[in-house]
Structure 1
Amino acid sequence: MINKIFESLQSAVADVNDGATVMIGGFGTAGMPSELIDALIEQGARELTIVNNNAGNGDIGLAALLKAKRVRKIICSFPRQTDSYVFDALYRAGEIELELVPQGNLAERIRAAGAGIGGFFTPTGYGTKLAEGKETRLIDGRHYVLEAPLHADFALIKALKGDRWGNLVYRKTARNFGPIMASAAKVAIAQVSEVVPLGELDPEVIVTPGIFVQRVIAVSQAAPQTAAA
């Protein structure tokens, strides 16, 4: 019997190794798997490479992981905002490496990894420092840059509901990067607000099929989510 349900957050992240590349879902705090991140901090893995849309907010979630100095490098599109002071301090002190990727390129590089695509050409970034060292090509009179897919060892994502096979549905904009990150990682770990019986999720509304998910953990929500969370 296929059963991907894990009994604890700690067991779900127990094998995340030092030096692993970990994708973390979320657009800011919307869809951020905070409880899984807290479990990863407790677990103790170090020298991580993190792939996320931004570089943490305040002192919680991803920012807490950065503050614990568990991250060697972050790959993201939006590292600086009003409450990204943890990342700012680490970067200015030379204690974290940054790979800046335009948001569309970031999403497509993750999607390409999940789709088995070896790379793609995009006009975004051509003629800037972001294109240095990369292959360029003139296609139909327009300049393009070759971007490589982004793979990960683990993906930590958040969904609204899941079943024991790992099928997932999301809540509104909390969907963001979760589906493509699940497909791009060797091990996708999903925290869900509710585990439902097999067959209860309408196949027409399942966003992430269970084939892309290896672990599911139910996390009760202390308060109702907002429309974006």
Structure 2
Amino acid sequence: MINKLANSVAEALAGTPDGATVLIGGFGTAGIPNELIDGLIEQGARELTVVNNNAGNGDSGLAALLKAGRVRKIVCSFPRQADSHVFDALYRSGRIELELVPQGNLAERLRAAGAGVGAFFTPTGYGTDLAKNPDGSAKETRVINGKGYVLEYPIHGDLALVKAERGDRWGNLVYRKAARNFGPVMATAAKRTVATVHEVVELGALDPESIVTPGLHVSRIVRVERVATAAGGFKNAA
């Protein structure tokens, strides 16, 4: 019987190795799998390469992982924000590497990994410093029909951490509104995907037409409680 339900976050993340490439869903604070990030800190893996839309907010979630000294390199589109002081301090002191990737390229590089695409040409970044590799060397470029393109490669992950709304024991997932963001493409791009859900439903309860991430791409799911806000409501998408 297929049952991908884990009893705890610790159980779901057990065995994550040092040096892993971890894909973490989220857009700003929407859809960030905070419970899984906290679990990864407790699990202890080091020298991680983290792929995310940004470089963390405040002192919690992804910022807490950076502050704990567990991340060697971050690949993201928006490293600096008003409250990205943790990343700023680490980067300015040379304690973390940064690979800056335009957001559309980031999404497509992840999608390409899941689709088995070896590489692709994109006009984004052509003629700018973004058409260089992290080591400063020039990326391959080509002019197609009179327009310049840059060759980009897929981003494969060892582990993807995503936040969903509901799931079943087979690992089928549906998301809530903006919390969907990068989760679906990251789930297909990683060797192992762990997802949190707020509700575990019986098999067949999810409309097949509404399932965004099929269980084929999910290794373990963990049920977590919603987080109450100071106003008395609940954080659903954040």
Deviations 1:148-204 (A, max 9, x none): 000000000000000000000000000000000000000000011111111100001
Cα distance per residue 1:108-157 (max 9 Å; x no partner) = 00000000001110000011111122110110110000000000000000
Shift of 1:222: 2.9
State the partner residue of 1:130. Answer: 130
CA contact (8 A) 2:226 2:235 kept: no
Structure 1 residues 51 and 91 mapped into 2: Cα distance closer, same or farther (>3 Å)? Answer: same
Q: 1:153 aligns with which of 140, 158, 168?
A: 158
User: For structure 1, which runs of at least 5 residues remain unmatched after alignment?
Assistant: none
Amino acid at match of 1:42: E
The alignment partner of 1:217 has SS state of strand
**Kept after mapping to 2: 8 A contact 1:173/1:227:** no
Q: Which residue of 2 is the match for residue 180 of structure 1?
A: 185
In the superposition, the TM-score normalised over structure 2's length comes to 0.94
Which residue number corresponds to residue 89 of structure 1? 89
Contact 1:159 1:192 (C-alpha < 8 Å) held by counterparts = yes
SS of 1:89 mapped into structure 2: helix
Q: How many residue pairs end up in the alignment?
A: 229
| Aligned equivalent of 1:213, options 196, 218, 229 | 218
Secondary structure of the residue aligned to 2:159 is: strand
Matched, 1:196 2:194: no
**Aligned-residue identity in percent:** 72
- Hey, what does 1:105 align to over in structure 2? 105
Write the distance in 2 (CA, Å) between the matches of 1:68 and 1:172.
31
Question: Which 5+ residue runs of structure 2 have no aligned equivalent?
Answer: 133-137
Superposition CA RMSD, Å: 0.9
SS in 2 for 1:220: coil
Query: In the alignment, which residue of structure 1 is the partner of 2:171?
Result: 166
* TM-score normalised per structure 1: 0.98
Counterpart of 1:161, as a letter, is R
8 A Cα contact 1:4 1:215, kept in partner: yes
- State the Cα distance separating 1:211 from its structure 2 match: 0.4
1:34-113 correspondence to structure 2 within 5 Å: 34-113=34-113
* 1:27 shift after superposition: 0.4
Which amino acid is the alignment partner of residue 206 of structure 2?
A: L
CA contact (8 A) 1:167 1:209 kept: yes
